[in-house]
Amino acid sequence: MAEAPASAGHMLELIRSGKARTRRDLQSLTGLSRSTVLQRLDLLTGAGWVREHGVASSTGGRPPTRLEFNEEHAVVLAADLDTTHARAAVLDLAGRTLAEHTAPLRVSDGPVPVLDTLADWFRSLIGQAERGTTEVCGIGLSVPGPVEFATGLVVRPPMMAGWDGYDIGAHLRSGFDVPVLVDNDANMMALGEQVASYPECPAFVLVKVSTGIGAGVIINGEVYRGIDGGAGDIGHVRITGAADALCQCGSYGCLAAVASGRALAAALTDEGVPTPSGAGVRERLRADHPSAVRMAREAGQQVGEVLATVVSLLNPEVLMIAGDLADTHFVTGVRELLYQRALPRITRNLKVVTGELGDRAGLRGTGHLVTEYLYAPAQADTRLAEGHATG
């Protein structure tokens, strides 16, 4: 009985997942005749998406030729935009970095100059990677604000003045005629970390604590975004004892107003320890500055109190802390309140860990998002019908 529909796109999915390694496997899994399998496989090999690679073990007779997804036939342009800097890269379809660039870039300068700069970086990186623009199959961009994923529009972002409703995709497509996917930075960090380090984890939560605070949720390998991109926005949960703390969103008492990198930098500065940003707080923590250590632990406790509700609701296997404050003192505070407030049954199998990919998590997630979108069965069939080969 067929395991999946038998279009060329579904055959590609079987090959990419490792369920089908030979032509015989494709016949067995799809129930198609040999001639039909060969015909549809010709579409995939002709597009450069599938290639032969060695031979599989034989059960008798001539060993069958092994098939594999050609991860080198196209490239993805990925960028991770933060509040004061950005990182851009050219990635192959396995997420490997072929060329990369990072530099200061202020999101507050507005969408036109920022996106024009990213486009310039992309063109330079394509050359550094010794690839051509026709090999680009898609662009992914993560941003530090809420995104309505279906439209690719940033919606009322607290830290991205001038970006609300701006058509990022249309802007980038004017220079690169390929699909453009835009998502929130915490979502993309979560996806990147989960794919790279916890691929079998069915419920994964990443909390990014930097200038602001946000969370990305991955359920069964898919980003959970809510109905319009608002899932994971824990930085704007109101907490007790912070009624006078003004948040960038304009409200008072938000978690981000007292426990984010920006909030701690301001508090340290008020204590006579000039600290310009969340990255500066990280440097103070590395130097074991007493005030920074105390504040980071207290901030971790405040975040941990909110996360007790998050883990009680989602019951994740992995809770990852990432960003500027993913430091021992902060994580210690998270653990203290989290394990106090959540029931032992909820936390008994919970792993509380820190990020493993560092500043590259967003790029890894963004590249994976684009690749999975472009080579999913329905989209792959559409692209094949339109005559797409590499780009």
Per DSSP, the residues of 344-385 read HHHHTT-EEEE-SSGGGHHHHHHHHHHHHHHTSHHHHHHHHH
Residue 328, pLDDT score: 80
Query: Which residue(s) pair with 153 in the sheet?
Result: 148
The CATH number, out of the four listed (1.10.10.10, 3.30.390.10, 1.10.274.10, 3.40.50.970), of the domain defined by the range 8-69: 1.10.10.10
Distance CA 121, CA 81 (A): 13
Closest CA to 363 of 110, 111, 75: 75
Q: How far is CA 310 from CA 127, 238, 331, 337, in A?
A: 44, 14, 16, 13
Report the DSSP pairing between strands 180-184 and 136-143: parallel
Distance CA 361, CA 22 (A): 33
- Helix 290-314 to helix 261-270 angle, to the nearest 10 degrees? 150
Residue 1, pLDDT score: 37
Residue 54, pLDDT score: 73
Phi and psi angles of residue 43, each rounded to the nearest 5 degrees, phi first: -60, -45
From first to last of the 391 residues of the chain, give the pLDDT tens digit. 344 468 999 999 999 999 999 999 999 999 999 999 999 999 999 999 999 987 766 565 667 899 999 999 999 999 999 989 999 999 999 999 999 999 999 999 999 999 999 999 999 999 999 999 999 999 999 999 999 999 999 998 988 999 999 999 999 999 999 999 999 999 999 999 999 999 999 999 999 999 899 999 999 999 999 999 999 999 999 998 899 999 989 999 999 999 999 999 999 999 999 999 888 999 999 999 999 999 999 999 999 999 999 999 999 999 999 998 987 899 999 999 999 999 999 999 999 999 999 999 999 999 999 999 999 999 999 999 998 654 4
Contacts of 316 (CB under 8 A, 6+ apart): 201, 203, 204, 205, 217, 350
- Copy the structure tokens of residue 354: 């820190």
Domains 75-188+361-385 and 197-358 belong to one CATH topology: yes
Look up residue 63 and give its DSSP letter. Answer: P
**Which CATH architecture describes the domain 75-188+361-385?**
2-Layer Sandwich (3.30)
Instruction: Report which residue type is found at 328.
Output: T
Query: Which residue(s) pair with 208 in the sheet?
Result: 214, 322
- Copy the structure tokens of residue 166: 């701006």
Residue 57, pLDDT score: 63
E-assigned strand segments in 162-305: 180-184, 203-209, 213-219, 222-223
Residue 63, pLDDT score: 75
CA 229 to the chain's CA centroid? 14
Distance CA 8, CA 22 (A): 14
Per-domain boundaries in the chain:
8-69, 75-188+361-385, 197-358
Angle at 295 between CA 294 and CA 297, to 5 degrees: 70
Q: Yes or no: is domain 197-358 CATH 3.40.190.120?
A: no
Residue 59, pLDDT score: 62
Residue 3, pLDDT score: 42
Angle at 105 between CA 101 and CA 107, to 5 degrees: 130
Instruction: Report which residue type is found at 142.
Output: S
Residue 2, pLDDT score: 41
